[in-house]
Amino acid sequence: MKLTPLSNDDLTVIQTQLIDKQELLLKRKHELVIEDPFSNPDRLNDNAAIDTEAAEQFGHDTISAIGSEVDVMLAEIKKALDSITRGDYGVCLRCMKAIEPKRLLINPTAELCSTCQHTQQLSDAT
C-alpha cells in the first residue's frame, strides 16, 4: 500500500537530497573528530599552560555540541530515508494525513504537517 502523498518524481528528488545531505554530514562528522583537540595524540605530552588547556576544553565542548547536532540531523535523515523505503514517507506522525508535498520539498525531514507543527509549537511554548 502506497501511503506517501508524493509523486515518484518528487520522492526521487527528496531521496537524492537526503542522501547528499547525509554524505555531507558524515564528512563533517569526520572533520570534527580531526579538529577535536582531545583527539590530538600529542596533547598529553605537551606541558600546556592553563589557558591552552581551557581553550582545548572549550574547543572540545564546542565540537561535541556540533557533533550532537550532526547526530540529530543524521538520525532525522535516516528516519526519512527509512520511511521512503517503507512507503509511508510524507505521512504526518500526528494526524496521519499527508504532509504537504511543497513542505517536504523545502524540509525533507519534516514529520508533521504544517497544521500539527503549528499546534506542537504552540504547546511547546507553554
Q: What residues make contact with Zn ion under the rule CB under 5 A?
A: 92, 94-95, 113, 116
Work out how close the CB of 122 gets to Zn ion at its nearest, in angstroms, rounded to a whole number: 14
User: Which residue, 73 or 112, is less far from Zn ion as judged by CB?
Assistant: 112
User: Which residue, 45 or 123, is less far from Zn ion as judged by CB?
Assistant: 123
Residue 88 DSSP one-character state:
-
| Residue 91: strand, helix, or coil | strand
Rounded to the nearest 5 percent, the helix, strand and coil shares of the chain are 70, 0, 30
26: which 3 cell numbers?
558524515
Question: In angstroms, what is the C-alpha Rg of the chain?
Answer: 20
Work out how close the CB of 120 gets to Zn ion at its nearest, in angstroms, rounded to a whole number: 9
Work out how close the CB of 92 gets to Zn ion at its nearest, in angstroms, rounded to a whole number: 3
User: Which residue, 81 or 113, is less far from Zn ion as judged by CB?
Assistant: 113
